[in-house]
């Protein structure tokens, strides 16, 4: 038997070019896990919901390898900063700012997120 996915009227939106773009249903985000979303320009965003319910979105592309894998990374905190560690080479990216915690010269785009 296959169960239907639970859905709500609550949608996750990202700020793109002075407008909001709907990327997924809130129920698609499990705390501590990421999902990837295709953006209108062909890029991908990695969207996360932490265990306290806060939402974050960054580019899904790992700048060290070029692979679109950050949505599959492990989440955690370092000195109070939420991060995702790339599943490939394990560099950590701050979910709020996109800054690489292991190489301050590298960052990914961080998006504003809201529930609509």
Question: In this predicted model, what pLDDT tens digit does every residue of 9-62 receive, in sequence order?
Answer: 899 999 999 899 999 999 999 999 999 999 999 999 999 999 889 999 999 999
> What are the structure tokens assigned to 74, written together?
């492990």
**What mean pLDDT value characterizes the chain?**
93
pLDDT attached to residue 1: 44
Task: Cite the DSSP H helix spans in the chain.
Answer: none
Report the candidate in 51, 36, 53, 52 with the shortest Cα–Cα distance to residue 111. Answer: 36
Q: Is residue 5 over pLDDT 60?
A: no
pTM of the model: 0.90
């Amino acid at each position: 038997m296959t169960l239907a996915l639970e859905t709500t009227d609550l949608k996750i939106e990202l700020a793109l070019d002075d407008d909001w773009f709907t990327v997924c249903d809130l129920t698609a985000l499990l705390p501590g896990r990421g999902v990837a979303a295709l953006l209108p320009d062909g890029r991908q965003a990695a969207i996360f919901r932490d265990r306290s319910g806060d939402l974050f979105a960054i580019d899904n592309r790992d700048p060290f390898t070029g692979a679109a894998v950050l949505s599959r990374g492990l989440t955690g905190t370092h000195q109070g900063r939420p991060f995702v560690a790339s599943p490939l080479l394990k560099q950590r990216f701050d979910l709020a700012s996109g800054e690489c915690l292991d190489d301050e010269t590298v960052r990914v785009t961080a998006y504003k997120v809201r529930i609509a």
